Structure 1
Amino acid sequence: MSSTDLPNMLPAMLPRLWAFALRLTRDRHDAEDLVQRACVRALERVDQLQPETAPLSWMFSIVHTTWINELQARNVRDRSSAEWDESRIQNVPDQSVRTPEEVLMSRQIIGAVMRLPEAQRAVMLLIALEGMSYAETAEILNVPIGTVMSRLSRARQTIGEGFTSGR
Structure 2
Amino acid sequence: MDLRRQLSAELPVLRRFARALTGDPALADDLVQDCLERALTKSHLYDASRPLRAWLFTVLRNIHVSGLRRSGRSGIVKTVDDLAEGEGAIAPDQEHHMAASSITAALERLSPQHREVIVLVGLEEMSYRDVSEILGVPVGTVMSRLSRAREHMRLLLEERGVAGLRRVK
- The DSSP-based 3-state class of the residue aligned with 2:133 is helix
Match of 1:11 among 8, 28, 35: 8
- Which of the residues 39, 42, 48 maps onto 2:39? 42
- For residue 141 of structure 1, the aligned residue among 135, 140, 151 is 135
Q: Does 2:162 align with 1:165?
A: no
- Quote the residue 1:114 is aligned against: 108
Q: TM-score, normalised by structure 2?
A: 0.80
Q: Equivalent residue for 1:94? A: none
1:159: how far off?
0.9
Which one of the candidate residues 119, 124, 135 is aligned to 1:130? Answer: 124
SS in 2 for 1:131: coil
In the aligned structure 1, how far is the partner of 2:32 from the partner of 2:119? 16
Name the Cα RMSD after superposition: 2.4
Change (3 A) 1:80 1:47: closer
* Aligned length, in residue pairs: 151
CA distance in structure 1 between the aligned counterparts of 2:106 and 2:75, rounded to whole angstroms: 20
C-alpha separation between the residues in 1 aligned to 2:75 and 2:30?
16
- Residue 154 (structure 1) shift: 1.1
Task: Give yes or no for contact 2:23–2:76 (8 Å, CA) kept in 1.
Answer: no
Judge conservation of contact 2:21–2:116 (CA < 8 Å) in 1: yes
Show structure 2 runs of 5+ residues with no match.
Answer: 88-93, 162-169
1:166 deviates by 2.9
* Letter of the structure 2 residue corresponding to residue 74 of structure 1: S
Percent same amino acid at aligned positions? 36
User: Equivalents in 1 of 2:101, 2:131: separation in Å?
Assistant: 23
User: 1:84, CA displacement in angstroms?
Assistant: 5.5
Mapping for residues 55-70 of structure 1, pairs under 5 Å: 55-70=52-67
Matches within 5 A, 1:82-101: 82-83=76-77, 100-101=94-95
